[in-house]
């Protein structure tokens, strides 16, 4: 493939998914700098092997490379994925919450911010095999089929991990709310 055509095609098919790639890497690695390194390596791999990409969905293909790059990085660094606390400014994700009260009410804003913090912390506490499917499904809006293809596991396993992950997330959130939001 001509280099110029390859670059243009890569830019059109893969580059629009940079934020999704970074989001997944951030949730998996728990760190901004680590996520940047993982995404940079994933994009280098993606470009190197782009001639072999013949699919329709550059996003799923790229997220698969990000996931594989994370696991390579993880094995090399032997990190403790549960030991790093969640930091709002790193993840910057806003979970939309609706309220009967006026959204400009300071009390409502405080409740929403605390709920978002608790949810983010709880998600970070999930074992990685549940957290990654939760992020791909709930935050990146991938279908079960796309997740199964990306992770190279049966769709039933995806559904099982999502179900178990949601159940664990609910348990963690219940414990956090019973403790008044304290760790």
103 pLDDT more than 80: no
Which range of 57-61, 89-93, 110-114, 177-181 scores highest in mean pLDDT? It is 57-61
- CATH number of the domain to which 52 belongs: 1.10.1740.10
- Whether the predicted model's global pTM rises above the 0.75 cut: no
**pLDDT averaged over every residue in the chain:** 82
Do 45 and 110 belong together in one domain? no
**What is the band of 6 on the pLDDT scale with cuts at 50, 70, 90?**
confident
Give mean pLDDT, residues 20-48.
Answer: 94
Using an 8 Å Cβ cutoff, are 23 and 38 in contact? no
Q: Residue 12 half-sphere exposure, CB side, CA atoms within 13 Å?
A: 7
| Token pair listed for 86 | 């969640």
**The domain spanning residue 121 has which CATH number?**
1.10.10.10
For residues 110 and 182, membership in a common domain is answered with: yes
* Res 10 pLDDT > 50: yes
Supply 4's token pair.
């110029």
| Residue 43 domain boundaries | 1-79
Q: What total number of domains does the chain contain?
A: 2
pLDDT recorded at residue 88:
43
Which helix (DSSP H) or strand (DSSP E) does residue 61 occupy? helix 58-77
8-state DSSP, 101: S
Highest mean pLDDT among 1-5, 60-64, 77-81: 60-64
Claim to verify: residue 71 and residue 124 sit in the same structural domain: no
Q: Does any domain span residue 86?
A: no
Is 174 inside any structural domain? yes
Q: Is residue 72 scored above 60 in pLDDT?
A: yes
Question: Are 118 and 72 contained in the same domain?
Answer: no
Question: Is the separation of the CB atoms in 73 and 34 below 8 Å?
Answer: yes
Regarding whether 122 and 60 lie in a shared domain, the answer is: no
Q: Do 108 and 74 share a structural domain?
A: no
Quick check: 36 pLDDT over 50?
Answer: yes
How far, in Å, CA of 110 to CA of 87, rounded? 17
End position of a domain, from candidates 79, 112, 128? 79
Q: Is 95 domain-assigned? A: no
pLDDT above 90 covers a percentage of the chain that reads: 55
- The reply to whether 167 falls in a domain is yes
Predicted local confidence at residue 119, as pLDDT? 81
Q: What is the dihedral of CA 37, 38, 39, 44, to 10 degrees?
A: 90
């Amino acid at each position: 493939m001509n280099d110029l055509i390859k670059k243009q095609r890569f830019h059109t098919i893969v580059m629009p998914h940079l934020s999704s790639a970074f989001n997944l890497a951030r949730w998996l690695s728990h760190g901004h700098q680590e996520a940047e390194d993982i995404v940079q390596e994933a994009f280098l791999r993606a470009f190197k092997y782009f001639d072999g990409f013949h699919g329709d969905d550059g996003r799923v293909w790229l997220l698969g490379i990000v996931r594989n790059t994370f696991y390579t990085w993880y094995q090399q660094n032997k990190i403790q994925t549960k030991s790093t606390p969640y930091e709002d400014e790193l993840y910057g994700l806003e979970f939309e919450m609706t309220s009967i009260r006026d959204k400009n009410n300071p009390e409502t804003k405080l409740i929403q911010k605390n709920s978002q913090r608790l949810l983010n912390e709880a998600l970070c506490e999930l074992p990685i095999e549940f957290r990654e499917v939760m992020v791909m499904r709930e935050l990146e809006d991938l279908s079960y089929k796309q997740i199964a293809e990306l992770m190279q596991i049966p769709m039933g396993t995806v559904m099982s991990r999502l179900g178990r992950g949601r159940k664990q997330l609910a348990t963690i959130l219940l414990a956090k709310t019973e403790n008044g939001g304290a760790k």
